[in-house]
Amino acid sequence: MNPMPPPADGDGDGAVAARLTGRTVTAVRKLSGSLAEAVLDDGRVVVVKRTPGPRAARAEAAGLRWLAAAGTVRVPAVHGHEAGRLVVDRVRRGGPDREAAVRFGRELAGLHAAGAPAFGAPPPGGPVEAFIGLAPMRNVTGGDWPAWYAEHRVLPYLRRAVDDGVVGAGEAGVVERVCERLPELSGPAEPPARLHGDLWNGNVLWGADGQVRLIDPAAHGGHRETDLAMLALFGCPCLRAVLDGYRQAAPLAGGWEARVGVHQLFPLLVHAVLFGRGYAEQALAVARAAAAG
């Protein structure tokens, strides 16, 4: 698409990018309904993302800064947020390869090891009432992962899926039984990790410089296996190499492969709420497998 002149009304993507970067915007390119690129007068390009609202923009900005503060994984530089829009540096895209994947795995282990004050803890400056994608997500803290995960991650989305008719009332019991058994299904206790929180492959950008950068976090304190389970859920490229790098830096507790489904229940139910019955069926299948284990 050809560059468009930045809006003149003071409220468009170009005007927001100019205010938050302190530079003149020379062109704006619309990428999608929620994304635009703004070209700055010094040649740099930034991305303007329209979020569900000011609270979502604030949460995402705080999450990116919290991830960056760990000094391990890379994220695009954050220029700020305004009126529900977030402005970050554009990532020049490349392709995945084993070397970058192994390095990313080590960096992800370092991010998790940076820790969080509690399970459910929001990033500094981030709201309790946050988002995962377009779905509301409450960052309420707890000290016991199985109880916290059931109460504040799995069950809220299960209840909404039932209310919306996406999951039948008679089907919900299998997920509830998994929640009841989480103390025995969740493996050895782990300290709260600093999670990206929405680590599907679309939020893993393979840069042209050979470095991975993460975008669109739903950052909070959680169990480190949750991020890894999300990577597996939607087919991250070079996943085996990512896991190799991760385990070089931070070995996983025994039996972690059998727990992947437990950690996938949360994102699958979020997707069921957002996108319908197909994901609900996948969540129910995962729950049945976990309950039978």
Residues 111 and 80 in one domain: no
Is the Cα torsion angle 136, 235, 228, 159 positive or negative in sign?
positive
Residues 28 and 6: beta-carbon distance below 8 Å: yes
Residue span of the structural domain in which 56 resides:
13-89
Report yes or no on 6 lying in a domain. Answer: no
Residues 42 and 145 in one domain: no
Residues 209 and 78 in one domain: no
pLDDT number for residue 2? 34
Residues 44 and 118 in one domain: no
* Domain endpoint, select from 89, 114, 138: 89
pLDDT in tens, 195-234: 999 999 999 999 999 999 999 999 999 999 999 999 999 8
Residues 52 and 119 in one domain: no
Domain at 46, CATH number: 3.30.200.20
pLDDT number for residue 291? 87
Residues 34 and 135 in one domain: no
Residues 169 and 288 in one domain: yes
pLDDT in tens, 109-133: 999 999 999 999 999 999 999 999 9
Domain at 143, CATH number: 3.90.1200.10
Residues 142 and 240 in one domain: yes
Find the angle CA(258)-CA(195)-CA(97) to the nearest 5 degrees.
Answer: 75
Ranges in the chain, pLDDT < 70: 1-11
* Domain endpoint, select from 89, 121, 156: 89
**Tally of domains within the chain:** 2
Residues 109 and 153 in one domain: yes
Report yes or no on 286 lying in a domain. Answer: yes
Question: Active-site residue numbers?
Answer: 198
